[in-house]
């Protein structure tokens, strides 16, 4: 298998022809589509489908990117399926509303089972040694991951490494947040999961990304590229460069390199295709300070308030749908309605809140924002290292 090569391919619209040409070029740059699938192999496509929102909102991997990747791989004679676990509700209905199912049906790509899981022991993981993985992600010869470039409340940015989390079925993703509330430990778990699943290739939809209050409530932003790589750490490193962020701000990159998943050292990444400098957006709206971590359960509530970011509901935007309450993984829940009639928005009990930000992630109205206390905001802002040292 090749080294840490990342193909950067310009693509400015979701027009079918342009996306198809960009995917074809990306495959050529990275070694040809035949290097990733062969006649009769069962390959699972893993797009990022957080929720069944329309493609225009740019929350999920765009159906045209999914379709172009599918068509390219079908040319090898591989048998494709697809899946993701949105963590709440039926994957099929999310896939339909996200526009992925229509493209998959047209191409004869079946939905894999991402609702049921099987336990797998994996000693090669740096922390968690046992995962329950979606049956569909296990019963295949290989996975091709198709992440989306977006901001993320817990992990700052969500890219290639984080996309594999959708191979954990259903509500088990929430259980992971309860079990591993510390974002650095969470990042280590994600690295272990990627080492276990070993997707053959990662293809990032960075044509239109999401900035601000992502991963669901942010704003679409034209980025204009696709990234392709076998190395998810290298791919996420180039993603960081495109937004002017020091790649080492993301613990997934740091642990990814430490535990042998890939490299976040720009001098060890070979860039192919278009120069990343063409796409860099230093004003990309995101939090650029290191992620706050700490002994959450041992500090006093006063210190917690001073140090740790917390989710807050903007009352005027809340439509009282209750999704945030349903998705909150703690028991008892850390936010609830004061009255049965839902006359007012849900109310937080921060003492119980583990800061997983699942509520912020899922709110359909962008009504939940993450407030960072003064001390957290005063932390050193990491310098941007856009393209320094790239080969
Ligand atoms: S998910 Fe958002 S809109 Fe729905 S109740 Fe919670 S805060 Fe309000
Ligand atoms: S209130 Fe939100 S951030 Fe806190 S535990 Fe529940 S889902 Fe996570």
pLDDT in 10s for each residue of the chain, 391 residues: 446 999 999 999 999 999 999 999 999 999 999 999 999 999 999 999 999 999 999 999 999 999 999 999 999 999 999 999 987 889 999 999 999 999 999 999 999 999 999 999 999 999 999 999 999 999 999 999 999 999 999 999 999 999 999 999 988 888 889 999 999 999 999 999 999 999 999 999 999 999 999 999 999 999 999 999 999 999 999 999 999 999 999 999 999 999 999 999 999 999 999 999 999 999 999 999 888 775 454 566 677 777 789 999 999 999 999 999 999 999 999 999 988 888 899 999 999 999 999 999 999 999 999 998 876 666 554 433 333 333 3
pLDDT score of 376: 65
Pairing of strands 130-134, 117-121: antiparallel
Protein residues whose CB sits closer than 6 Å to any atom of ligand 1? 313, 318-324, 345-346, 363, 365, 367-368
Structure tokens at 287: 């939090």
Structure tokens at 389: 């040292």
Question: What's the gap in Å between 353 CA and the centre of ligand 2?
Answer: 5
CB 369 within 8 A of CB 314: yes
Question: What's the gap in Å between 64 CA and the centre of ligand 1?
Answer: 30
Q: Long-range CB contacts (< 8 A, 24+ apart) of 103-106?
A: 103/63, 103/64, 103/66, 103/67, 103/70, 104/66, 104/70, 106/67
pLDDT score of 368: 97
**Residue 368 beta carbon below 6 angstroms from any ligand 2 atom:** no
pLDDT score of 377: 64
CB 352 within 8 A of CB 330: yes
ω into 71 cis (within 30 of 0): no
The residue whose CA is least distant from atom 4 of ligand 1 is 321
Query: How far is residue 55's CA from residue 62's CA, in Å, rounded to a whole number?
Result: 6
Ligand nearest to the CA of 342: 1
CB 77 within 8 A of CB 38: yes
Ligand nearest to the CA of 51: 1
The residue whose CA is least distant from atom 6 of ligand 2 is 328
The residue whose CA is least distant from atom 2 of ligand 1 is 363
pLDDT score of 298: 56
Closest CA relative to residue 250, chosen from 238, 240, 241: 240
The structural domains of the chain, ordered by start, are 5-279 (3.40.50), 310-371 (3.30.70.20)
Q: What is the pTM of this model?
A: 0.93
């Amino acid at each position: 298998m090749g080294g840490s090569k990342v193909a950067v391919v310009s693509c400015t619209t979701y027009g079918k022809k342009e996306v198809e040409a960009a995917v074809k070029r990306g495959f050529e740059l990275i070694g040809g589509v035949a290097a990733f699938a062969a006649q009769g192999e069962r390959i699972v496509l893993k797009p990022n489908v957080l929720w069944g929102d329309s493609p225009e909102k740019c929350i999920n991997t765009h159906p045209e990117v999914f379709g172009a990747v599918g068509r390219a791989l079908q040319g090898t004679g591989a048998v494709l399926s697809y899946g993701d676990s949105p963590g709440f509700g039926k994957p099929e209905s999310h896939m339909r509303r996200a526009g992925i199912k229509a493209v998959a049906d047209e191409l004869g790509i079946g939905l894999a089972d991402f609702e049921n899981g099987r336990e797998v022991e994996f000693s090669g993981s740096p922390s968690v040694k046992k995962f329950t993985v979606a049956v569909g992600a296990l019963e295949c010869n290989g996975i091709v991951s198709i992440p989306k470039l977006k901001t993320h409340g817990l992990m700052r940015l969500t890219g290639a490494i984080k996309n594999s989390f959708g191979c954990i079925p259903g509500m088990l993703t929430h259980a992971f947040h309860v079990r591993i509330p510390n974002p650095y430990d969470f990042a280590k778990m994600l690295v272990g999961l990627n080492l276990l699943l070993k997707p053959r290739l990662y293809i990032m939809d960075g044509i239109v990304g999401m900035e601000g209050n992502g991963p669901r409530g942010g704003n679409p932003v034209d980025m204009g590229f696709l990234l392709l790589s076998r190395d998810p750490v290298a791919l996420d490193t180039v993603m960081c460069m495109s937004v002017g962020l020091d790649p080492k701000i993301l613990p997934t990159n740091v642990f990814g390199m430490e535990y042998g998943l890939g490299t976040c050292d720009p001098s060890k990444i070979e860039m192919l295709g278009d120069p990343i400098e063409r796409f860099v957006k230093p004003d990309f709206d995101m939090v650029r300070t290191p992620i706050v971590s700490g002994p959450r359960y041992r500090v006093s509530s006063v210190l917690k308030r001073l140090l740790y970011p917390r989710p807050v509901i903007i009352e005027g935007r809340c439509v009282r749908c209750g999704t945030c309450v349903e998705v909150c993984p703690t028991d008892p829940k850390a936010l609830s309605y004061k009255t049965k009639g839902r006359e007012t928005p849900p109310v937080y009990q921060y003492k119980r809140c583990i800061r997983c930000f699942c509520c912020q992630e899922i709110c359909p109205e962008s009504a939940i924002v993450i407030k960072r206390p003064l001390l957290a905001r005063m932390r050193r802002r990491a310098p941007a290292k856009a393209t320094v040292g790239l080969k």
